[in-house]
Structure 1
Amino acid sequence: MVDDKIKYSTAFTAGALLLRETEAFVAEIKDYDAFLDGSENIDFSVIPVNAESSKKRLKHEIEKRLFAINNGNLLNQFLTSDKSGKNTILFYGICKCYPIIRHFMLEGVLNKWKNLDFELEINDFSNFIYRKMDFHPELAKITDKTVYKCGQVVLKMLKDLGMLNKNKLQKIAINNAVLGNIISTGDSWFLDVILLSESEKQGI
């Protein structure tokens, strides 16, 4: 059961995993600890998109996700990992930054997986949001259009992660080194987010 006192934000629609953009951003960080405590600033110009307004918006979003990870070892590991490992770290950061996505994975997606229901569509996320509105007044003013847009972005995240293929759930490639680092932070819940079995958890 999740904590209903946690405030939900749906401000994650600036982008899905943002792999290319985050790679460019993290590569510019000279000292991870200094970046995480706010004493090292990365200029928005390093973001590989054309419009300055987009660079600024994406910098803000990437920083939020990296600050949520709050682990210099994981940021260093991000640059040296393969694409699957990088995407896993990015999705972990998203789940840390946005509890609404973490709870959707733990309450909605995991439940479907355990019941051998592998179909996942935008409506699954939309219905999750509507159920949560009774317990989270901060969601009350969200329009149906925004709910749908959020669902689109969440499914895009799962496709980029490799967990969703043609609206069918599937396991992602397991990177033990990355997952071991995540577990060391105390966030073992992430193993359920990525649908690991008990035997797979024991193997990490």
Structure 2
Amino acid sequence: MTPIASPSTGYRMSFTAASLCIRESAILAQRYLDLGNWEQVSSEAFSENLLQVRTQSSLRRLLRELTTRLETLSPAELDLLTKATEPHQAQVLWLAVCRCYPFVAEFAVEVVRERYLSLKYELPLEEFDAFFNRKAQWHTELDSISPSTHNKLRQVLFRLLRETGLLSTQRTIQGVQLNPQLAQLLRQGRPEEALYFPTFDTQIKT
């Protein structure tokens, strides 16, 4: 499988800055649909403390992370995010995280989905470690990551999987039925991105 991120571009690993943040992301998405400008959304969200964050520094950091993710979504996907039920909102946001972070996308495809298709439903923590070490052979920027940061990356990625409904609290991979509207949007645009979810090929093509 061709890597999503080439060794020359490197991985962005700042996904630890926020969890899935469904409520906050939906608020920002609605404000963008009203305004049509992400800079204005960020400015108003900061001045109004739209996300109800205690400190300005935390709010600024959260806004930066969430808008970076949401900017990867199309207007139709953002509209779905504002109207769908929470499990389907989570699917849209997982898609945004995968688009934003090739490391996460490749883990979703090469580890989570492959284990699901192989009927290996358990996802041990060691699977992350093995994946990380494989990627470090081609991405030298991973060599500088400290053990504590490595552990945090693993912790946050597994939390994102749980929040999306792809992983149980016992670290069992859970197959999902894609939201029909999201599946249709992917088929019309980037059908390969359905591979970010643990589903069988028949579910993707229908």
TM-score by length of 1: 0.89
How many residues were matched structurally? 199
The residue type equivalent to 1:196 in the other structure is T
Cross-structure match for 1:55: 59
TM-score by length of 2: 0.88
Cross-structure match for 2:37: 35
Q: Which of 120, 130, 145 is residue 142 of structure 1 equivalent to?
A: 145
Q: Which of 95, 104, 107 is residue 104 of structure 1 equivalent to?
A: 107
Contact 1:84–1:173 at 8 Å: present in 2 too? no
Going from structure 1 to structure 2, the CA distance change for 1:147 and 1:179 (only over 3 Å counts) comes to same
C-alpha displacement at 1:39, in angstroms?
A: 6.2
In 2, distance between residues paired with 1:191 and 1:30? 24
| Structure 1: gaps spanning 5 or more residues | none
C-alpha displacement at 1:198, in angstroms?
A: 2.1
In 2, distance between residues paired with 1:120 and 1:95? 18
Contact 1:17–1:160 at 8 Å: present in 2 too? yes
Which shows bigger deviation, 23-32 or 8-17? Answer: 23-32
1:145-173 CA deviation, whole Å, 9 max, x = no partner?
11111111111111111111121001124
Going from structure 1 to structure 2, the CA distance change for 1:43 and 1:50 (only over 3 Å counts) comes to same
Contact 1:123–1:151 at 8 Å: present in 2 too? no
Q: 2:172 aligned with 1:168, yes or no?
A: yes
Cross-structure match for 1:195: 198
| Structure 2: gaps spanning 5 or more residues | none
Contact 2:29–2:78 at 8 Å: present in 1 too? yes
What does 1:63-142 correspond to in 2, within 5 Å?
63-69=67-73, 71-142=74-145
C-alpha displacement at 1:85, in angstroms?
A: 1.4
Contact 1:87–1:160 at 8 Å: present in 2 too? yes
Contact 2:22–2:89 at 8 Å: present in 1 too? yes
In 1, distance between residues paired with 2:187 and 2:147? 36
Cross-structure match for 1:2: 2
Structure 1 or 2: more helix by fraction: 2
1:7-44 CA deviation, whole Å, 9 max, x = no partner?
21111101221112212222322446x325x5654432
In 2, distance between residues paired with 1:159 and 1:121? 14
Going from structure 1 to structure 2, the CA distance change for 1:55 and 1:39 (only over 3 Å counts) comes to closer
The residue type equivalent to 1:56 in the other structure is R
SS of the residue 2:114 aligns to: helix
In 1, distance between residues paired with 2:59 and 2:137? 36
In 1, distance between residues paired with 2:75 and 2:51? 20
